[in-house]
Structure 1
């Protein structure tokens, strides 16, 4: 069984919590369209969603304090890593009764491929996968591009055996945030609250992950709620039936509007600016040699 686990940011640190919930609904539509039922979804947050959750989905309520002031000013990254990591720690504890063979941590605004649970069901003893090649999608533009180095860009990128997280059996879902952090140790900051260097951490701890043979996830940007603030610029591919089928992404624009967004004047301007910046960087490097 594959356990999908995610967290929700504290409402105090959201620009628009209604938007956070809408993004979660879109993501759950993707996650729960798996081609087999051998999966469970765990969500951990400070406020129970206002909508009915899909089947095979469990919400765990926590009362952890907000990691930043109400202004939402992110003066330091560490508090958000702490918040996300400890919530994922609770999610892993909540997944234990389902006896999952593997876990996929996902961000609550991304999309995942419909065949992941089936793949895990066929390889229950597999040492784990890393998604190095995926997609970046903008609902605002209804368009997408390929995203190389996906696992260093997006947190929805690892499928690993449950035992890799060292889930503490002596703790319950009601454990304190401090107890959770102490129980998971360095895993909290290295592979739970953050993802950029997680593959190296796994390798250094004797776990070589296999690159997934197909783009298994979609990094959703331009949402207004991304911590990273990333945006899809330049030319892009209009959303197509393959993406709709494999990731359950619903079109957000009509065909003509999408083509204009993907290839119109703004996209041309961004592409020219991007290429120009690349030329300047190369010229600057050449002068320094």
Structure 2
């Protein structure tokens, strides 16, 4: 049976990480969320794409593991530790190469749709139903989603989630500018389309294959942990820091009004019966 939807999880090299055990903690939380999304159907699956030296531990049965011969970035992938243009180029190449490799693998399985999922985020259990209900659609993008600090029960409901997070789009595989051999692809395409989250939606519009918005919160952007590339802090030290009430009152109020409780009902939407 051909695959309907494959979740593609790119994972950074151990050599590019601060704490590999923390990377694996976040990965296994993401994998549990994907497992819940795959649990009720055999037409969904996942692939994690890693360097050959990465030790992963056990992953759910719905996962395949693809290992690539890719040198780790020569500069830090963490924001603020190296000039931003150099960091972004290195990070987007590493991520884009792995995402493209994972999608190429998914296509060999006959996967109709793919979704790139950052290895510290969560996905809603119902995303497969979108593809199942309209298999001829171009795809969907997540405009509503959670910004949630790790371990917190309070998060911010973003109305432009796709501008914040790389876990944002379900796309039909035949519409992507992908070649079987990723090494032969234009590096600019690898970085822009597969390695960064700001370029795919405009590209799909330009190609007259626009993505449709998902009509519910479709993903969780996990922040406030040491392995986050962009280093977004927790709410009280970031967008809702008390000092912002005085120095940036409009900014503070904007996100304060988006504050929501992430309780057991919300958790179930991203972990299903595994919550």
Shared fold (TM-score, shorter chain, > 0.5): yes
Match of 1:38 among 40, 43, 48: 43
> Which segment is superposed worse, 8-17 or 68-77?
68-77
Q: Distance in 1 between matches of 2:75 and 2:234?
A: 29
Query: CA 1:70–1:124 in structure 2 vs 1: closer, same or farther (change >3 Å)?
Result: closer
The within-5 A match list for 1:157-172 is: 157-169=168-180, 171=181
**How has the CA–CA distance of structure 1 residues 70 and 106 changed in structure 2, closer, same or farther, with 3 Å as cutoff?**
closer
Report if the CA contact (8 A) 1:38-1:118 is conserved.
no
Does the 8 A contact of 1:190 with 1:201 survive in 2? no
- Looking at structure 2, the residues matched to 70 and 5 of structure 1 have their Cα atoms a distance apart, in angstroms, of 23
Give the 3-state SS of the residue equivalent to 1:136 in structure 2. Answer: strand
Task: Tell me by how many angstroms 1:4 deviates.
Answer: 0.5
Match of 2:248 in 1: none
RMSD: 2.1
Structure 2 partner of 1:286:
none
2: CA distance, partners of 1:184 / 1:70: 23
Larger Rg: 1
| Mapped partners of 2:72, 2:166: distance in 1 | 21
Equivalents in 2 of 1:49, 1:143: separation in Å?
32
1:139 equivalent to 2:158? Answer no
Match of 2:122 in 1: 111
CA contact (8 A) 1:4 1:40 kept: yes
Structure 2 gaps, min length 5:
241-255
Query: CA offsets, 1:187-225, max 9 Å, x none?
Result: 312221001232112111221111111111110001211
Cα offset, 1:159, TM superposition: 0.6
Comparing 230-239 with 41-50, greater Cα deviation is found at: 230-239
Deviations 1:208-260 (A, max 9, x none): 11111111111000121111111232364333122211012999xxxxxxxxx
1:89 partnered with 2:78: no
Deviation at 1:144, TM superposition (A): 1.3
SS in 1 for 2:61: coil
Q: Could you tell me how far 1:185 is from its partner in structure 2?
A: 5.4
8 Å Cα contact 1:130/1:157 also seen in 2: yes
Unaligned ranges ≥5, structure 1: 172-179, 252-289
From 6, 10, 17, the equivalent of 2:9 is: 6
Q: For residues 136 and 70 of structure 1, do their structure 2 counterparts lie closer, same or farther at Cα, with a shift above 3 Å needed?
A: closer
Shift of residue 6, structure 1, vs aligned partner: 1.4
User: Match of 2:36, SS?
Assistant: coil
Number of equivalences = 242
CA distance in 2, matches of 1:130, 1:117: 13
Corresponding residue for 1:16?
Answer: 19
Deviation at 1:120, TM superposition (A): 1.1
Task: Say if 1:204 and 1:4 are closer, same or farther in 2 by CA, change over 3 A.
Answer: same
Label 1:131 to 1:70 Cα distance change in 2 as closer, same or farther (>3 A).
closer
